[in-house]
């Protein structure tokens, strides 16, 4: 199992409903109001703007495995998670 901190981190823009993955280079949503990037060698992420942070847990990896084994399953993102130091809104 890979470290949770290395699973993809995304942000969902409340304004334009775009979803973008965060990388070392800053990425911006379609309307430009939300942006973010990975920090600390990819261990952490920060974002700005009216965005909802999205992180994948172990169920996601299990869903990927099931899909790859031919189960035809996708993944439904619907559970909130506790904010922590690895994914923070940047102010100022």
Residue 82 beta carbon to Zn ion: minimum distance, rounded to whole angstroms: 25
Residue with tokens 């869903």: 63
Q: Is 61 in the site for Zn ion (CB under 5 A)?
A: no
Window 12-41: contact mask with Zn ion (x via CB under 5 A):
-x-xx------------x-x-x--------
Residue 37 beta carbon to Zn ion: minimum distance, rounded to whole angstroms: 16
Residue 34 per-residue DSSP state: -
Q: Cα–Cα distance between 39 and 44 in angstroms, integer?
A: 5
Neighbouring C-beta atoms of residue 22, cutoff 10 Å: 24
Question: Contact residues for Zn ion (CB under 5 A)?
Answer: 13, 15-16, 29, 31, 33
């Amino acid at each position: 199992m890979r470290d949770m901190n290395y699973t993809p981190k995304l942000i969902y823009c409340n304004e334009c409903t775009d979803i973008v993955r965060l990388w070392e280079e800053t990425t911006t949503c379609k309307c430009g109001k939300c942006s973010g990037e990975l920090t600390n060698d990819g261990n952490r992420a920060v974002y700005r703007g009216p965005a909802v942070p999205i992180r994948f847990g172990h169920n996601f990896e299990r869903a990927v495995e099931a899909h790859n084994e031919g189960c035809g399953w996708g993944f439904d993102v619907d559970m909130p998670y506790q904010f922590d130091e690895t994914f923070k809104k940047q102010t100022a």
